[in-house]
Amino acid sequence: MNIVLLEPEIPDNTGNIGRSCVATNTRLHLIEPLGFKLSEKRIKRAGMDYWEKLDLTVYSDLEDFYEKNPKAKEHMYFATTKAHHTYKDVLYDCDEYIMFGKESAGIPEEILAENEENCIRIPMWGDIRSLNLSNSVAIILYEALSQHGFEKMQLTGELHRLSYK
């Protein structure tokens, strides 16, 4: 899987998303401009010691991203509150790309209009504008992975029995 962040602004969100990407063996694509430096403490703190294991690529702009990832044009979903379809309406391929926009404005309207059939949303109650970016990524990413039975992921844990007196 591939998570694409278009012009992310908050380092904590990107750090959390990076950690989720490491935990799911997912590539993270960051499209500039970024609202922070990748060397910032906040991004490293949120990503913890997982950040060094992240499969990360940074692109100068959207054109650079598409040039280096030609498959993305055919395998991209766009997460937005403006979509007609929910993230559960999609059958995801293993090499899908899912784009999320910057925290303050989302994905630009012109990009959404050009890709309306591939726009997906997370249902929300009432007049809430949006969910936190890192939460949104986790919700959609784990749905996509669940459709493939969490292939090659650790599915069970082990409880260490302690004796209590």
Q: Delimit the domains of the chain by residue range.
A: 2-146
Q: Is the predicted pLDDT of residue 45 greater than 90, yes or no?
A: no
For 2-146, which CATH superfamily applies? SPOUT methyltransferase, trefoil knot domain (3.40.1280.10)
Q: Is the predicted pLDDT of residue 35 greater than 80, yes or no?
A: yes
Residue 120, token pair as written in the block: 């997906």
Binding site feature residues for S-adenosyl-L-methionine: 101, 122, 130
Q: Is the predicted pLDDT of residue 165 greater than 60, yes or no?
A: no
Q: Rounded to the nearest 10 degrees, what angle do helices 133-146 and 11-24 cross at?
A: 10
pLDDT at position 47: 67
Q: Is the predicted pLDDT of residue 154 greater than 80, yes or no?
A: no
pLDDT tens digits for range 57-103:
999 999 999 999 999 999 999 999 999 999 999 999 989 999 999 99
pLDDT tens digits for range 121-135:
999 998 888 899 999
Binding site feature residues: 101, 122, 130
pLDDT at position 158: 81
Q: Is the predicted pLDDT of residue 12 greater than 90, yes or no?
A: yes
Q: Does residue 114 contact residue 82 with C-beta atoms inside 8 Å?
A: no
